[in-house]
Amino acid sequence: MSESLVSEPRETSGATTALLLTYVRERGGQRALEETLRLAGVPHAAEDLLRPAHWCSYETRIKLFAAATEVLGDPDTMHRVGAEALTNGLNPALVLVVRALGSPRQVFRQIPRAVAKFSTTSTMEIVESGATHASIRFTLHHGYVHSRLDCDYARGLLSTVPTVFGLPAAGVVHNECESDGYPACIYHLTWNRRARPWARRHRDTGAGQEILALRSQLQILQSAAADLIGSEDLDTVLRRIVARAAEAVLAPGYLLAVAAPGGGAPLVHSFGVDEERVPELAATLLAGGELGPHTVVVDVSSARRFHGRLAAVYRPGDGALGDERSMLAGYAGHAAAALDLLLARDEARLEADRAGALLALAHELAGAVDAIAVCEVVVEALPSVVGCSRASIMLWDPTEGVLRTHAAVGMPDEHQALLLSAAVRAEDTPELVGMLTDRSPRIIRSATSSPSLRRLLESIGSTDVVAVPLLSGTTFLGVAAAGWTDGEAPQQLEGDVLSRLRGIGDQAATALQKARLLETVRHQATHDALTGLPNRVLFLDQLEEALGGHREAGHLAVLFCDLDRFKAVNDTLGHAAGDELLRQAAARLRATVRPGDIVGRLSGDEFAIILPGLEDGADAQRLAERVVSCFDEPFRLEGREVAAGTSVGVAVHTGTDSTADALLRAADAAMYRHKQRGRGSARSFG
């Protein structure tokens, strides 16, 4: 990692220079990038300017803006850089924070805090904001010369906010500019609250961007872990922790204070913090004190050791954007795991090949995107890292109170099959109850273990086992176990072996938590949050899949349902009652259809049902009548009985409407004819 020796004010975030140089390289190639740096005459290497943690002066920023515009020969260069920020690698952590805020309106309300992530030389204020519009005042601080290129960049960046939510870019009107003598720059923004109806039938690009950002964030954090684990001494690790913190949270400054492993003065590293105040701030950090509302502070600690605290530091008056504390905490967890591994390696003098195996594990975990993949990667690494002959990863099912094996290596196929089919129940296993209680490792020998555990160990031929809990904070995720057959185990299992296994367990727990987060986001991207039904994206995918197999499985039809008088419920009883009506309607639909049918919520009060495996087209009509009848009973809303029927359109696949979208449109059209002819029965189409 290159470290710039140039000392200048930390006024412009590396997130800005990285976006600019990435855009220049994509549009003009490496030669254009080099020419931009030469023409700007700035004392920084491209490698430094591409790092989020590297801050430069406002003067350097404007020189780079002007040079890039000249090199590319496009007067709109800076507007395009801002407008194309998402495609040019906008920091994944920032994308996740923006998405978490929920809407463009909420993002623009947080603009004053967001600006602190990119610059310390300006202030943005919200003049007014509404559901689909906002006015923002931008003021450059005294002593700086305003550049219209900076405005162009700001306009582009502001316009891209709605695209993070899968909406069209915002319109930006900028008629008052400091470059024209006005006291401040005023931006008037307008955007659509939601995509057009037909556009919503395609994939939610905003959710897709969130999944990509999560995957990128996971890879960045795992890469950071690999980078930290590869360090040879504690001082290097601490310096890299601070240097890479900007990949989790963008801020002007960072401070890390860690208690010295052997006692003595604390180990302190910082970027962008007043050097005279560092000792005082570090002491406050280690004492558990608060640094003020303009900081984000997290513990650098693992399940077994507290190392110190890490702080992202903003200017007084600024602070975090959204829930960035959890992102920094996730990164700090990686840092703590790396410190644990480093100390364990130093204390136990781990062999070089085992350190290499740990590094390889970190790289492989970066590509593991689900829990099963994480388990398989970790269990393959355990024998070489720990020195055991067999290993397994068991995950905890809290609903049933059992541990189940998800991956195992180093044993005959019949033993592995027994272990994979076994369920270790807390009620039968005192060792598991103890681990759930104190979250501590266990050294288990079959001769002295509880009866149920002894039977399991004997059935797979294991005599000695070291088991460590996989923990995410205080949440118990499962167990990583290293085992040996009779006569294979080292004499001492409590020291070196246990230290290595716990280090791997820390990495595995972090990777499992991130994988589960990805799985949650995938589910949210394809399911309706209110009813839990498949959303339009998933419903169309399932319909396409059903169309592909309908020839072998009978006829296929689609029902399109639109609730009657839904708007009246919203208007008279309120949106909470409307939401409850949708939930109850979804429950009735699920209870009415057959087990193999698929119910989805498309948007608003529109539902659709896939009916596969019909004996003939008339079956679809009968099922549609059942759907209509299930709305005969009134709904109970806000303590009142409310009648709300449904209009249903039926479309039976004939071979001419061969796509999912075409079949759904046909059912939609039939539903509208139903409404026009009067409610109470279903109308077919095709």
pLDDT, one tens digit per residue, over 637-652 is 988 899 988 999 999 8
Q: pLDDT (tens digit, 9 = 90+) per residue, 197-227? A: 544 443 444 445 444 444 454 455 555 555 5
User: For residue 552, is pLDDT > 90?
Assistant: no
Q: CA-CA distance, 96 to 580, in Å (whole number)? A: 29
Strand order in 606-614's β-sheet?
Answer: 598-603, 606-614, 555-563, 646-652, 683-685
Would the pTM count as exceeding 0.75?
no
Cα three-residue angle 468-470-475, rounded to 5 degrees = 130
Query: For the residues 491-509, what does the mean pLDDT come to?
Result: 83
User: For residue 442, is pLDDT > 80?
Assistant: yes
Q: What phi and psi, each to the nearest 5 degrees, are found at residue 658?
A: -80, -10
Least confident of 2-6, 511-515, 534-538, 643-647: 2-6
Q: How many helices (H) and strands (E) does the chain have?
A: 23, 21
Least confident of 124-138, 353-367, 492-506: 353-367
Share of residues in the chain with pLDDT > 70 (%): 84
Q: CA-CA distance, 461 to 483, in Å (whole number)? A: 10
Q: Please list the alpha-helical segments (H only) found in 527-656.
A: 536-549, 566-573, 575-592, 617-629
Q: pLDDT (tens digit, 9 = 90+) per residue, 151-188? A: 999 999 899 888 888 888 899 999 999 999 999 999 99
Q: Could you tell me which residue, 321 or 513, shows the higher pLDDT?
A: 513
Q: CA-CA distance, 44 to 4, in Å (whole number)? A: 7
Residue from 384, 394, 651, 346 nearest 512 by CA: 394
Q: What pLDDT does residue 203 have?
A: 40
Cα three-residue angle 85-175-14, rounded to 5 degrees = 25
Residue 613, classed as helix, strand or coil, is: strand
User: For residue 92, is pLDDT > 70?
Assistant: no
3-state helix, strand, coil in the chain (%, to 5): 50, 20, 30
